[in-house]
């Protein structure tokens, strides 16, 4: 079986892959995630995931390795067509969470899988709808002071304390955490990478 390389150092993505029994090693892509062209959120996450995967593939191929498969992903929070990235500071986190309070938003993850010795590539975008409950300013500040929102897209983490703010979701829960596990497992199986049930 080919070695799976996760093009990320995200502890959440590592945890999710381990959860489904996939053996892998990590290698961050360290790409510039800023897009110069004006594209929509779906095209953005698709492009970033593909660029992450290609960067890591190039790294290993340039060192004479090719018996591997690369998995890369990029997750964003989108409200009314606007991407909400990681907050710059506590004030920015408050603005984001106030904007999401009581409203629906979307979490989009672009996933790209590449083969090291073939031109085979699969890319998809998984979308989950999330409804945030109505939050008071005091609740938002209490959450911000936990420190949890400051390194999260959209300023919240559903797998942590942020779960208390989510009223309901439509779609894949794991997509909101950072990796749509069912879709990823189907994609990996097409490259010979099996899960614990595989």
Q: Which residues are catalytic?
A: 74
Residue 177 CB-half CA count within 13 A = 18
Cα 164 to Cα 26, 53, 122, 156: the distances in Å are 31, 34, 35, 10
Q: Compute the half-sphere exposure of residue 160: CA atoms within 13 Å on the CB side of its CA.
A: 14
Closest Cα to residue 186, out of 110, 113, 109?
113
- Spatial separation of the C-alpha atoms in residues 130 and 22, rounded to whole Å: 28
In the chain, what is the straight-line distance between the N-terminal and C-terminal CA atoms, in Å?
13
């Amino acid at each position: 079986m080919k070695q799976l390389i996760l093009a990320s150092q995200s502890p959440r993505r590592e945890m999710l892959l381990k959860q489904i029994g996939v053996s892998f090693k990590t290698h961050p892509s360290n790409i510039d995630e800023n897009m110069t062209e004006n594209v929509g959120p779906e095209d953005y996450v698709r492009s970033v995931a593909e660029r992450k995967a290609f960067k890591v593939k190039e790294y290993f191929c340039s060192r004479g390795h090719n018996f591997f498969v690369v998995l890369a992903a990029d997750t964003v929070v989108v409200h009314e067509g606007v991407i909400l990235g990681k907050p710059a500071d506590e004030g920015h986190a408050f603005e984001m969470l106030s904007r999401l309070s009581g409203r629906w938003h979307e979490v989009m993850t672009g996933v790209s899988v590449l083969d090291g010795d073939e031109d085979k590539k699969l890319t998809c975008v998984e979308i989950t709808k999330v409804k945030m409950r109505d939050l008071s300013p005091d609740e938002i500040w209490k959450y911000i002071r936990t420190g949890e929102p400051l390194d999260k897209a959209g300023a919240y983490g559903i797998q942590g304390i942020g779960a208390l703010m989510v009223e309901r979701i439509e779609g894949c829960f794991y997509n909101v955490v950072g990796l749509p596990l069912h879709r990823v497992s189907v994609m990996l199986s097409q490259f010979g990478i099996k899960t614990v049930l595989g």
